[in-house]
C-alpha cells in the first residue's frame, strides 16, 4: 500500500508493477470511510485482508471469516520482494519450500494457486513455454495444443510488453474451480500452474478440486485464514496508519 517518492517501495518492485491502481484506491477509500466513524482503530492491513475476501465473494467465490487485529508495518522496500513471491517457472518442490516458510502446507499452496481463476498475466511471464521451451521442443509439450495456439496469437514473439491475457481462459471473471479443470486439460498458463497437475505428488488434490467446488472452497478459506496470519503485527508492533500510503502516518 505504501507509496515512495523515490519509487523504491514494495509496490514498485517489478513483480508488483501490474497491480491495479484502482485496487489500492479501493482500500484507501474504505479506510477513509472507516476512520470517519472510528478513527485510528482499524488498520490498512485489516482492510486489505477484508477486501481480498470481499472481492472473492463478489466474483462468485466462497465467503469466510477474516481474523482481525493486525497493525500496519513500518517497512516497505522493493528490494525485499525478490525471492518472496513464487516464480512462474517454479517446480512443485520450490513452491512447497516457499509456502512452508510461512507455515502453509502443500494443500494450502494448491488452494491459493486457485486464485489464478481471476486476474491476468503479461506475455513475458510465460513466453518461454511457447517459443523456447527446449532444444527439441520450442513449445512446452504439457500445454494443450489448441491453448498454445490461442496464446501464440494473443502473444506473438514481438508483442507489446504491456499486453496482458487472462489466467483462466474459460471463466476469467468468475471465482470458481475451473482453474483446476483447466490444469487437467493442459491449460495452466504458468509452468508453476501446470506442474500442480503434472507432478504425481500434487495431482490427486488438483483432480479433487476440479471435481468438487466444495472441497476447493473449504481448502481456500482455510488457506486464506492461514495466509492472513503471515508476518502479522499485533500489540505494540507496527502502527495504525491514518494514510495507508504513508508509513507511520
Known binding residues for heme b are 116
What is the Cα–Cα distance from 128 to 134, expressed in whole angstroms? 9
Residues belonging to the binding site for Ca(2+) are 10, 117, 168, 171, 176
What is the chain's length? 249
As annotated, the binding site for substrate includes 86
Question: In this structure, what C-alpha cell is assigned to residue 22?
Answer: 484502482
Q: Helix (H, G, I), strand (E, B), or coil: what is residue 54?
A: helix
Query: What is the C-alpha to C-alpha distance for residues 165 and 167, in angstroms, rounded to an integer?
Result: 6
Concatenate the DSSP letters of all residues of 136-200 into one string. S-SS-TTS-HHHHHHHHHHS-TT--TT-EEESSSS-TTS-STHHHHHHHTT--SSHHHHHHHHST
Q: Which residues contact 46 (CB under 8 A, 6 or more apart)?
A: 66, 68, 69, 70
Q: Please spell the DSSP secondary structure of 85-118, one letter per residue.
A: S--TT--HHHHHHHHHTTT--HHHHHHHHGGGGS
Kind and range of the H or E run holding 121 = strand 120-122
Residues of the binding site: 10, 86, 116-117, 168, 171, 176
Amino acid at each position: 500500500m505504501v507509496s515512495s517518492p523515490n519509487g523504491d517501495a514494495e509496490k514498485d518492485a517489478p513483480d508488483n508493477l501490474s497491480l491495479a491502481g484502482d485496487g489500492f484506491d479501493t482500500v484507501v477509500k474504505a479506510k477513509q470511510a472507516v476512520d470517519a466513524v472510528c478513527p485510528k482503530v482499524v488498520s490498512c492491513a485489516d482492510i486489505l485482508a477484508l477486501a481480498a475476501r470481499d472481492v472473492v465473494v463478489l466474483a462468485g467465490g466462497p465467503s469466510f471469516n477474516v481474523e482481525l487485529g493486525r497493525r500496519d508495518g513500518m517497512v516497505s522496500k522493493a528490494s525485499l520482494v525478490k525471492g518472496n513471491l513464487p516464480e512462474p517457472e517454479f517446480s512443485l518442490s520450490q513452491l512447497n519450500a516457499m509456502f512452508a516458510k510461512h507455515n502453509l502446507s502443500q494443500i494450502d499452496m494448491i488452494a491459493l494457486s486457485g486464485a489464478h481463476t481471476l486476474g491476468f498475466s503479461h506475455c513475458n511471464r510465460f513466453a518461454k513455454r511457447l517459443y523456447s521451451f527446449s532444444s527439441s521442443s520450442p513449445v512446452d509439450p504439457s500445454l494443450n495444443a489448441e491453448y498454445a495456439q490461442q496464446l501464440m496469437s494473443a502473444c506473438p514473439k514481438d508483442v507489446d510488453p504491456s499486453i496482458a491475457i487472462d489466467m483462466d481462459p474459460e471463466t476469467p471473471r468468475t471465482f470458481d474451480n475451473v482453474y483446476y479443470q483447466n490444469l487437467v486439460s493442459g491449460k495452466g498458463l504458468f509452468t508453476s500452474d501446470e506442474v500442480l497437475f503434472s507432478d504425481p505428488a500434487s495431482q490427486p488434490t488438483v483432480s479433487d478440486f476440479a471435481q468438487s467446488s466444495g472441497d476447493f472452497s473449504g481448502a481456500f478459506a482455510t488457506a486464506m485464514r492461514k495466509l492472513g496470519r503471515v508476518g502479522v503485527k499485533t500489540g505494540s508492533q507496527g502502527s495504525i496508519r491514518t494514510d495507508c500510503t504513508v508509513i507511520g502516518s
